[in-house]
Structure 1
């Protein structure tokens, strides 16, 4: 029988799919329980709310313990999004199970904004200033939640001292990119540079939308010199913090200038578009965390893109649809998706970035049109 692995995350489908591609049997705990997550998982446990302290932390531990017991002797536990602001909970999980990913101390070092800014300063890495005191010029600052992910937590800075659990980060210009890598605690292997974009709303101006990666023969969106410099600096951070496994470095590029904004010490939102090499990325993640940096294989020939399809209206209930093969994170029929909440993820490939993005937009528009027609005429097939 193939080996099992336990996955806990805000959304566990991408990790579960990556586990299946790596020949592993996923046991999954997450917030959503989407239809494809349930189909991929050997067993599933629901999580609720943020994973923090108190009852939520105890429920998360119980879910991980229960899945590990059901799995028998799993390879270990992989944590996705949602644990960046709770290194104490990460430490408790690591006390009970083999942790496949960043250690609690590494998460704490990378996700403490002031400590991370100080580390960047020591290493000479361009990084926006951070503060907790009230800025005299709030228009030049953003308010962020410590350990936040997905962009939903980012706001224009208000006046006054940052609330508990939040901090101010100086605004810097540039287009958002991410350097996606595999680390073994000392060095990195670069997977790709991806470009990101937002799907803003009046209340969520920095809400994450999607990402695209170019094909193997396509010119990088970054100059080679910039790519090399950023890679070298990320490797220094890895050596300083002992980071292992899949991760990504978010940065903004403005001409020849760039600023590192954060490190995500976990498999990220680009897993769907990056896990197309001969070596499955979750297998590479496990190997690197256990001390062996694997060969990754050639970069895929085609470009790929993925974006979250946010609901343009409330779906209560979600209709029973024959979802296209390029749709992931499919909500269960009868469940409720509120307006502006994530509805699903749409994937596309193409000969280059522009072709992949054009196909992505076409597929997303068609999907929303089908859902609108289904809501207007529920008795008709889509």
Structure 2
């Protein structure tokens, strides 16, 4: 394992690159940001200009990954995909034809992100989910619209506008309640020659704005959770994971309304919660390598509850200056980076004795970091 090179492609490759580095790998990253801390974790990086606005395109991402492969000095053992490929199974298929994928392939991604296939599968399994349909409901009150393959919650809208449905969008009945995610390490080899699954719950919250009322705000590990609810969440994740034949890192997002869990989506890749679930040995990345590349794996270290939260540029567009980034910050943009109003600006982390304390500390750090960034912004 030690020193092996691995390719990573994602909108933001920072989390995967850091986990890979902790696990002893040499990560070579293609992403859309080229943040300071991603460059620090990666052996080399290629930034795909415009990817956040238009998505990844085959020629650009293939050229970047082939260039990284040549620069690595030793043949990469494979390619791990993060966010940015949920709505592009054809692109994933094209990448699989050129690189050894160490993650779920096009068919699995398509099943997870196609509303008809995914919610039809849940119906056959008897797994509760919000009422979902492709056509716009005749009475749109209490319904939301989602983009197929969308992530981060920025694509979710309350139902409004024309009476016809839009391409690449579907409709779901709005539910209120607590948001949980179950991070899975699935089908991981064990020392006795068997395979095992591990599941970890996180609690999530939104950071609403007028334009993006459902955007993801953050999450915290080891939340206080009723044991029966936790058992139900894990049981659902396990059943759905088996049906999808998932391997390695995956996340299962729920909303719990009146004590009843409803499955919203499955990401057959590491979700945002990987940041708060990983450990100092790169446990999550090691698990991914063990599942897909027969790498070495041993149980991770238990850490204190950890929270992460995303800071958005809600004070207005900003050009980053020479920000003195705190050690608890992440996704640090280089000086001169232009961040549009409302876009993700950076992330914060916090650890504490309890999940509530970790969340409270993360939220207070958001305000501190916001003042710091805007105070050092370029005019």
TM-score (norm 2): 0.91
Give how far 1:50 is off: 4.8
Matched, 1:213 2:221: yes
Contact 1:313 1:338 in 2 (8 A): no
CA gap of 1:254–1:292, structure 2 versus 1, over 3 A, is: farther
Secondary structure at 2:299 match in 1 = coil
1:351 matched to 2:353: yes
Does the CA-based 8 Å contact 1:51-1:86 persist in structure 2?
A: no
Q: For residues 82-121 of structure 1, what are the structure 2 equivalents within 5 Å?
A: 82-121=84-123
Question: What does residue 190 of structure 1 align with?
Answer: 198
Instruction: Tell me, yes or no, if the aligned pair for 1:52 and 1:85 is still in contact at 8 Å.
Output: no
Distance 1:361 1:53, change over 3 A: closer
SS of structure 2 residue aligned to 1:121: helix
Q: Which residue of 2 aligns with 1:22?
A: 23
Paired residues of 1:51 and 1:83 also in contact (CA < 8 A)? no
TM-score by length of 1: 0.90
Would you say 1:249 and 2:249 are equivalent positions? no
Query: Distance between the aligned counterparts of 1:52 and 1:117, measured in 2?
Result: 28
| Pairing 1:1-382 to 2, within 5 Å after superposition | 2-50=3-51, 56-71=57-72, 72-158=74-160, 159-184=162-187, 189-214=197-222, 220-276=223-279, 280-290=283-293, 294-300=297-303, 302-314=304-316, 316-375=318-377
**Unpaired stretches in structure 2, ≥5 consecutive residues:** 189-193
- Larger displacement relative to structure 2 (348-357 or 46-55): 46-55
1:255 and 1:366 map into 2 onto residues whose CA distance is: 35
CA distance in 2, matches of 1:283, 1:59: 28
- The answer to whether the 8 A contact 2:5-2:28 is kept is yes
Unaligned runs of 5+ residues in structure 1 are 215-219
Secondary structure of 1:122's counterpart equals helix
**What's 1:217 paired with?**
none
Change over 3 Å in CA distance of 1:103–1:315 after alignment to 2: same
